[in-house]
Structure formats: C-alpha cells, structure tokens
Chain A
Amino acid sequence: MTTHTHTDDDAVASVSVASAPAVVLDGVSKVFRGPTGAKTVVDDLTLTIRQGEFFSLLGPSGCGKTTTLRMIAGLEKVDGGRIYLGGRDETDLPAHSRNVNTVFQNYALFPHMSVFDNVAYGLRRQHVAKAGLRQRVMEALALVHMETYAMHRPTQLSGGQQQRVALARSIVTQPLVLLLDEPLAALDLKLRESMQEELKRLQRELQLTFVFVTHDQAEAFAMSDRVAVMEAGTLVQVGSPEELYLNPATRFVTTFVGRANFIPVGLVEGVAVSSPHAVAARELEDAHSADATLVFVRPERLQLHLGEIEASGPLVRGWVVDRTFAGGLTTVKVRLADDVDVLVTSDSAAPELGGAVVNATVTLTWDVSDATLLDR
C-alpha cells in the first residue's frame, strides 16, 4: 500500500518504553471507499509526538486531521503504515486495548449514567477496586471543578460542564495519550478562552501527552508546544508556533497562520524585481521558477514611509486605500501597482501614521531577513 520504507523500525523498537515517543505515525494512510470511488484522506503521514507534549493537528475541515486522530485512537483502521504508541507497534490493536483516550467533539457522555458513573466507566473496565475507584473519580472531578455534580445526569449540565466531565472521564485512567477532537468548537468565545487555559493547566499538572485537533489557528498557537499543519491529507509543516509563524514552509501555511502579504516579483538577472518597482531579494536560489515568484512578509515586518523615498534595501510603492485602528496597533491597507493589496501594521503612536491618510502615496520597506521567497 505505502511506499514508505521501514528503516527506522529497529530504532523505534529498541528505545525503552519510558523514553519512547508517545505517538509515532510511520507512513500512515487512510482511504475511504464510497459509492463514488475511493478518496485518500490521509496520505503517507509520518509524525512523531513526544511524551508530555501539547501537540496540535491544525488544518481546514476535510484535511484528514480528525481521521488521523481516530486512527491513533484505534477507532479507524489504517490502510497503510504503522502506528507506535509508547514505542510499541499497536497498529492492529482495537481501540479498547489501546492506552489512549479521546474527548469527542460533542462529548459523547453516556446519557443513562450519572456524572460519577461516566467518569468511573474507564476505571471499571480496568477492574479498579471500589474504594480506590471512588477516590480517583472524585479527584478527577475535582480537577475539573465538577465534584459537586457527581450525581447529576449529563443532560442536566451545560455544554461547558459536559465538556469538563468528558475531560475528567478521559484523564481519570491516566492514558498514555489524550486525544481531543475540536473539544472547544461548540463553546462560546468566552468559555472557550477559559477552557483553553484550563486545558493547558491540566496538561501541565498531569504531564499527559495531549493531541489536539483544531481548525482554529489562534487556538492551536495559544495552547501548543508544537503544531502540525495538514492540508489535503498530507503533513505540510511541523514546528513550534513561533517557527510556523516566522518561517512558514509553504504559501498554505502562511495563509493559514496569521495574516500575510504576498508581493509579486519577477527575477531579472538574479535580482527579484517587482513591477514596476525593483526589489532586492535574498537567497535567490530558493526561487524554483525563475520568472514567477512571491515575496512573503508579515504585516508587522513592513515599514511605512510617507512619499516616494529611496532605500538601500527592498521597497515597493503604492497608495493608502484604507486604515483600521485597533487600539495599540493600526493596520494600513496599501494598494500596489497591479492591484495587489498589502497590509502594514504599525504602532498607533508612530509619527508617519499621521500622514498616511487615504490616497496618500507611501513607500514600504522591509528587512531582507524578514521576507521569504515563495513559488507563486
């Protein structure tokens, strides 16, 4: 099925279980076969998640992130590749034999059981003795501040409370990995922010490995140690939020992560040229196609100058079409030739902003080290 070679199998197996990565996906693939044909939802995905890490799978809906999570849980069979959990090959183990728990998107609490019995469910499957069971269930509920609701039914709880119970139910057995499938998507903004902090606190206190699936970049960045960006079933880039923001690997990552400017340039004799204004670019060997390239710069990395100025570094000229005041920062929209719009974010107190009124001519400059050349 997969063309991936298993050269590092021995290395994975020889590592002691204690220090082994929590999750290793080795060339994992998943194909959904429907009446209209087969569709590859996860394609040759290789990924290592360290123990005690808050790891996020980030991508638009349909990118295969939830399927990936379900394959780690064992709820979905893989069509190729291997899955190692804590150093052991558990590709063919069913979900109930894996030491991995899931927090489902709509919580999936058992409606016919009390909150206590919901949380006790996993422990009862492990035949934990009664006294210890009560202790552990109540501790888990206390951890999510739901201990007074032990005898309530899930249907009597609000969405946020159900979310907490679902969390308690998944962490009480102290699984090797906790999988969270967009657990905050159904909550309103305020509750979501407090739950983000709560999740981070829980993860720190319990030192559990969290694998968090989300389509919300801000959420992934606020919580994660590392983020994997997925697109159409493949892994695009893995790294810390800082790495992804500052050094995005592809245009997809740049658009998915924060706000981005793309300034079209052409290459003339090894120099990137923006029509009609020339820009000097670095690392021209990065540019694969010689005549069609984009320069990527973050809005806050651009400097705004009034009028047509000359600079030693790269520059483009245009005119202001809009400005948005957002407290400490002001974003100015500048239109270049060829109708390309570029956003510039500056400190609202910056003196040059005073003259940057609509239709004013401006020059934008940036440091070559802040820009990346991308294929168009």
Chain B
Amino acid sequence: MRGFVGLTYTWFALWFMAPAAIMLVYSFGRTAGLTQRGLVNLHHLGLGNFLQALRYPTGTVLVISIENAVLATALCGLIAYPVAYFIARKLGPRSRVIVLLLVVLPFWTDYLLRMLGWRIFLSPLGLLYGALNALGWHVTYISILDTRSAVMVGLVYNYLPLFILPLAVVLERIDSQLLQAADDLGATRWTVFRTVTFPMSMSGVVAGTVLVFVPMLGDYVTPTLMGGARGLMIGSLVASEFTEGQNWSLGAAMAILLILLLVAIVAMAWLFVTGIRLVAFRLRSRALAREWAT
C-alpha cells in the first residue's frame, strides 16, 4: 500500500509537477533568437514576459473567458442537478448503472468528431435550423455557429458529465432515513429537498463546479472549433503563443498567470463559503449563549 502511494506521488511529480516547474522557469526567460539553440533563452531572467502578458488583448480575452466559464458552469449545474438527482434518487441500482453509462458514453467517441457533429447540427443547413423551419420559425439567415453561443453549447456539452458524476455520487449517498426523518417531523416533499437533500448535496455541487470551471477556463480547443475567430478564449491565446507565435516564454508566463488566477478564484470561493458559515455560526452561538444566560 505504501509503495503504491509512493508510486502515485512519483507519477504526479513526473507528469504534472515537472512540466509545471518547467513552465515556471520558462516564464522568466526570453524566447530564443532564430540563431540560438533551444526554445527559451534562460541567461537573462526577468519579469518582462508577465508585463507583456498583461497587455492587450489578454485582459479583454480573459474577461470574456471568465464570463464564458462562469455562465457555462452555471448552465452545467442547472442541467446536471436534475439529471443527477434522477439518476441517484429515482432509479434502481441496475438502471442507475445503465444511465450513468449513457452519461459517459459520448466520451467513447473522438472529441473532434463530436465537435464536428455539433457544427453540422448547428450549421444553417443542419438539423437545428431544419427543425426550426419546419416549425415555421424561419431563422436561416442568423447562424449561431462561430459565435459565443456556439462556444457555450460546446462547453456545456463537453463538461456536463464532469458535473453529473460527482453530484450523483453525493446525492446517492444521502441516507434515505434522513429524508424519512424530515418527512416524519412535518416537512413536505419540497421542504425535505430544500432543507435536507439540497444542503447535503452541496459538496457535490462544489466538486462539480471546480471540476468543470477550472478546465473550462483553460479550454482552447472547444472555443476554436465552435467559436472560430469570434469565440476566442484565454486558452486559445496561450496556445497560439506556443504554436503560431513560437514565443514559449510569453506563453509560459500567460499559463502561469492563468494558473494563479484559477488558484485565486478557487481559494476565494472556498474562503467565501467557509467564511459565511463561520460568521453565521459565531453570531448564532453568541445569541443563544446570551439568551440562555438570562
């Protein structure tokens, strides 16, 4: 067991920590000139890349990216909750396995194929517009393909299973005796959900949010495939520095900034949630103590 844990750490260090460390080092370097050896010149370390990374258009793209990721995460949550609830609390153990399998089934098809499938579906000659036309709603001349809306569709579609799975696990683990106890104490079905099921599923909502939001913010393939030129997200910008720009040190600096931003967002969200709980708890205990003392 200990050997296994050691192996896990080694694996993690080798394939995650080491590349991240290399990126960190690169971000302080300078892109090698055409005649120089290697990708990044590390003889003159400095913060120049970071200053350049903060310049236009990074800020604008970053704001759009955060907006996209927040909105798509919220949509994922809204869609995932009823689905996870149905899977975890309404299905029998056997049909539960089948439906969970269906949730992850798209992952068995190549990512590019699925995205191209969406492009065909959303295109002016595709199924969506065909259906809308058939219903008498003639909107052929507006295409949502290659817009932010298409990016949103792609993001929600791609990350939805990552929200459903942890949420379904948490919802399934809620002891049904607790729901019976609430019922027994006078709570209607909606009140049982509001006061017991939903608060107890918060850890699943938080896990789903983090699992979906973090990779979404850095995603560059989905925006490129679905949004084209108008669907630019921060990940695309970073990727283009590594590929077209051939400026690895600048790309590394942008990546590091993105990581720091994500850490900051997650930490702030965590502090916010626990902080509110702590303050509320303190206030209530004090009020109770005062009352009980008199």
Contact = CB atoms under 8 A, between A and B. Distances in A.
A30 to B, nearest CB: 16
A223 B59 CA distance: 74
B292 interface: yes
B110 to A, nearest CB: 41
The contact size tier of chain B is 20 to 34
Given A75-B180, A108-B181, A112-B200, A151 B288 contact: yes
Given A134-B291, A147-B292, A151-B285, A96 B187 contact: yes
Given A73-B184, A121-B182, A169-B185, A138 B292 contact: yes
B284 interface: yes
Given A112-B199, A122-B185, A134-B291, 19 more contacts: A73-B184, A100-B184, A101-B185, A104-B177, A104-B180, A104-B181, A106-B177, A108-B175, A108-B178, A110-B181, A110-B182, A110-B196, A112-B200, A116-B284, A116-B288, A125-B187, A147-B292, A150-B292, A151-B284
A134 B291 CA distance: 9
Contacts of B38: none
Given A108-B178, A121-B195, A101 B184 contact: yes
A48 B240 CA distance: 81
B200 A111 contact: yes
Contact of A96 (B178, B188, B200): B188
A242 B147 CA distance: 84
A274 interface: no
A95 B183 contact: yes
B186 interface: yes
B291 A95 contact: no
Contacts of A151: 281, 284-285, 288
A126 B187 CA distance: 9
Given A112-B200, A150-B288, A94 B183 contact: yes
A250 to B, nearest CB: 34
Given A111-B200, A112-B200, A121-B195, A95 B281 contact: no
Contacts of B202: 112
Nearest to A147: B292
A41 B291 CA distance: 49
B60 interface: no
Contacts of B281: 114, 151
Contacts of A147: 292
B181 A102 contact: yes
B137 to A, nearest CB: 44
Interface string A73-112: 1110000000000000000001111001110101011111
B180 A95 contact: yes
A268 B292 CA distance: 76
A173 interface: yes
Nearest to B175: A108
Contacts of B200: 110-112
Contacts of A150: 285, 288, 292
Of the listed residues B185, B188, B191, B288, the one surrounded by the most CB atoms of chain A closer than 10 A to its CB is B185
Given A108-B181, A110-B178, A173 B186 contact: yes
B271 to A, nearest CB: 20
B185 A75 contact: no
Contacts of A94: 183
A179 to B, nearest CB: 9
A150 B281 CA distance: 11
- The DSSP consensus for interface residues of chain B is helix
A304 B72 CA distance: 87
A114 B196 CA distance: 13
Contacts of B175: 108
A120 to B, nearest CB: 10
B177 to A, nearest CB: 5
17 contacts: A96-B184, A96-B187, A102-B181, A102-B184, A104-B181, A110-B178, A110-B181, A111-B200, A116-B284, A121-B185, A121-B187, A121-B195, A125-B185, A125-B187, A125-B191, A151-B285, A169-B185
Interface in B127-172: none
Interface of A: 73-75, 94-97, 100-102, 104, 106, 108-112, 114, 116, 121-122, 125-126, 134, 138, 147, 150-151, 169-170, 173
A144 to B, nearest CB: 15
Contacts of A173: 185-186
Contacts of B291: 134, 138
A102 B285 CA distance: 28
A108 B200 CA distance: 13
B185 A134 contact: no
B288 A134 contact: yes
Contacts of A114: 281, 284
B186 A122 contact: yes
Nearest to B286: A151
Given A106-B177, A108-B175, A112-B199, A95 B184 contact: yes
Nearest to B199: A112
Of the listed residues B183, B200, B202, B281, the one surrounded by the most CB atoms of chain A closer than 10 A to its CB is B183
Of the listed residues A74, A95, A138, A150, the one surrounded by the most CB atoms of chain B closer than 10 A to its CB is A95
Given A104-B177, A134-B288, A151-B285, A75 B184 contact: yes
Contacts of B288: 116, 134, 138, 150-151
Nearest to B284: A151
Contacts of A138: 288, 291-292
A284 to B, nearest CB: 51
A125 B177 contact: no
4 nearest interchain CB pairs?
A125-B186, A122-B185, A108-B181, A151-B285
A150 B290 CA distance: 13
B56 to A, nearest CB: 46
Contacts of A74: 183-184
Contacts of B292: 138, 147, 150
Nearest to B198: A112
A139 to B, nearest CB: 11
Interface string B258-294: 0000000000000000000000010011001001100
A121 B191 CA distance: 11
A111 B182 CA distance: 12
